[in-house]
Structure 1
Amino acid sequence: MSPTAVLVSCAELPSGDGDDDVLLPALSSLGFSVSWAPWDSSFDFASADAVILRATWDYASRRSEFLSWCSSVPSLFNSGDVVRWNTDKSYLVELSDAGVAVVPTSLVPPGSEPAFPSSEFVVKPSVGAGSRGAARFAGGSDASEHVAALHTEGHTALIQPYQSSVDASGELALVYVGGIYSHAFTKGAMLGSTMDPSGLYLTEKLAPASPPADAVALAEDVLDAASALLGILRAELLYARVDLVRGVDGKPLLLELELTEPSLGFRQADPEAPVRFASAVRQQLA
């Protein structure tokens, strides 16, 4: 009997945004019976051999419900424990404390008073997806109103100095499957982009990329540190996307580590990338 793999989406995008379309034939070629299903549907996820989070982009407004669902799924990739840790961007502070080069990050929970940088900065919710709720401010601005709005919605605010390199070169995303590097792509600056018709994420300008050595070295450090914090092996992460930017000194910095439902840029990758992903799914089941 063929193993079953379910790519998990949301009601607004039941078959994802198209980037993962190549995974269906890749998984089928390696013996899987594969289908899509929204996470909050009546699908029997417990019956599947592999339940793979791919486009659950409505989770931010329903995080408690989503985490409860994740905990109920036996064969979820990435695991529920990983999802719980990764869906709150306070993990950036943990990685920084572990010695990883991270974009300087401060957290302002409800009831706390913010301190704003003297240079350009960004304020966003610590729990969020698709850059919703993120705003950019000029140096010296008082963003208390935006922080208060996030607090009113129950969010912890996250404040970071804006990295001007994003305006010229965007972000560099390095994709790993089964803990091993697969491919990379660039993402244009998202702040100021238009919202997708689904209302779940901002549109991005993507392009294939060959990551320089210092970016790869940092991405490796990020995955090692995250795995140590989570108490798992890197190989236990079916997928990971490491988003990097350049700091004012030109050195790479971690902007985000996406372990829950990131777009993996298959349309910007080489033709073998979907098969690498499918092979990594088989590895997880073994």
Structure 2
Amino acid sequence: MHIAWAVGKTFAHHDPDLPLLTAAMTARGLDAQTAVWDDPDVDWGAYDLVVVRSCWDYVPRRAEFLAWADAVPRLANPAAVLRWNTDKTYLRALDEAGVAVVPTAWSVRSVDDLPAAEEWVVKPTVSAGAADTARWSDPEQAVAHSRRLLDSGRATMTQPYVDAVDTEGETGILLFGGTVSHAFRKGALLTRGDDPRSLPELKEDIGPREPSADQVAFAQHAVHVARELTGHELLYARVDVVTGPDGRPRLMELELTEPSFFLPHTATGAATFADALVARLSG
């Protein structure tokens, strides 16, 4: 069987997960190749499965990316999931379905619309790797950031900055084929008052982490709700969790499109993913 890892041309050589994934597939007798998602010469129908990986250049070309996804015969995660997940307004649907999400205000244009907080994070609803994202302690600067994005035609989201990110960081939990594989810790990425970066952040403070039982249950619930909302099974999911002011897990993001798996920080993650992929092909 033949597998394609779909990547962005600019980022194809910056994804440390790919060599580990390919080796795990080779060990199972499967051929896995890297292919650039917007290369017109690729015959996507020739593959038994196409898996979206580091397509981080989709953000300014989301419509083109989704049209590509619609045209791929066998894609993981499915095109409908990518359409739902590449606009962060999916968080509103998860919140309404009972998943505890970091409180979010949408497309803020006035200080009166800001959620109660001492600091805020402003980002576009279509973004990757903290691009065009910034942390503000001045409410006027937070609103100005949101307005700049809105005036350029990009919807925004504004959230209170979660203080626990500065102390314990975020916990990312990976589920492959619905089974928890591993977790990692991500250190604080945003510095107060920094200008928004224009490109995805590739150098992150990452290390292994043993998630708590509450975090695992929270991640499993979030993925279950996402399956219910989208109507699709998920080959992979990354649940980014922070600790809220009440000490309970809250969802920062649910990554179902092109998340880094951070496989160099786990001895078993690549094998777990490969087993889930083989099970998907066999089913």
TM-score by length of 2: 0.92
For 2:26 and 2:141, how far apart are their aligned partners in 1? 53
- 1:256 lines up with 2:215 in the alignment: no
Residue in structure 2 matched with residue 279 of structure 1 by the alignment: 275
Residue in structure 1 matched with residue 97 of structure 2 by the alignment: 98
* 1:108, distance to aligned residue in structure 2 (A): 1.4
Aligned positions of 1:77-156 closer than 5 A: 77-108=76-107, 115-119=113-117, 120-138=119-137, 140-156=139-155
- 3-state SS of paired residue (1:154): coil
* 1:92, distance to aligned residue in structure 2 (A): 0.6
Residue in structure 1 matched with residue 29 of structure 2 by the alignment: 31
CA deviation string 1:220-257 (max 9, x = no partner): 1101111111123xxx2111000000111111100000
Task: Extract unaligned runs of 5+ from structure 1.
Answer: none
Change in Cα spacing, 1:9 to 1:40, as seen in structure 2 (3 Å) is same
Change in Cα spacing, 1:139 to 1:98, as seen in structure 2 (3 Å) is farther
For 2:190 and 2:18, how far apart are their aligned partners in 1? 24
For 1:220 and 1:81, how far apart are their aligned partners in 2? 21
Q: Is the 8 A contact 1:9 1:15 kept in 2?
A: no
CA deviation string 1:117-161 (max 9, x = no partner): 342111100000010111111164452321121113321110111
C-alpha RMSD over aligned residues: 2.1
Change in Cα spacing, 1:237 to 1:16, as seen in structure 2 (3 Å) is farther
What code does the residue aligned with 2:123 have?
K
Residue in structure 2 matched with residue 186 of structure 1 by the alignment: 185
* 1:268, distance to aligned residue in structure 2 (A): 0.8
* 1:283, distance to aligned residue in structure 2 (A): 1.4
- 1:244 lines up with 2:227 in the alignment: no
For 2:146 and 2:104, how far apart are their aligned partners in 1? 15
CA deviation string 1:159-196 (max 9, x = no partner): 111100000111000000001100000001111499xx
Q: Is the 8 A contact 1:15 1:37 kept in 2?
A: no
What code does the residue aligned with 2:17 have?
D
Residue in structure 2 matched with residue 208 of structure 1 by the alignment: 208
- 1:265 lines up with 2:268 in the alignment: no
What code does the residue aligned with 1:133 have?
D
- 3-state SS of paired residue (1:210): coil
- 3-state SS of paired residue (2:9): coil
Residue in structure 2 matched with residue 57 of structure 1 by the alignment: 56
For 2:73 and 2:99, how far apart are their aligned partners in 1? 32
What code does the residue aligned with 1:30 have?
R
Change in Cα spacing, 1:238 to 1:71, as seen in structure 2 (3 Å) is same
Q: Is the 8 A contact 1:53 1:77 kept in 2?
A: yes
Deviates more, 1:205-214 or 1:145-154: 145-154
Residue in structure 2 matched with residue 176 of structure 1 by the alignment: 175
CA deviation string 1:89-140 (max 9, x = no partner): 001111010011110112118xx65611342111100000010111111164
For 1:200 and 1:133, how far apart are their aligned partners in 2? 8
Q: Is the 8 A contact 1:123 1:157 kept in 2?
A: yes
Task: Extract unaligned runs of 5+ from structure 2.
Answer: none
CA deviation string 1:33-65 (max 9, x = no partner): 111111011211121111011100001111000
Residue in structure 1 matched with residue 44 of structure 2 by the alignment: 45
Aligned positions of 1:5-20 closer than 5 A: 5-20=3-18
Residue in structure 1 matched with residue 224 of structure 2 by the alignment: 224
TM-score by length of 1: 0.91
What code does the residue aligned with 1:169 have?
E
For 1:192 and 1:107, how far apart are their aligned partners in 2? 22
Percent identity over the alignment? 41
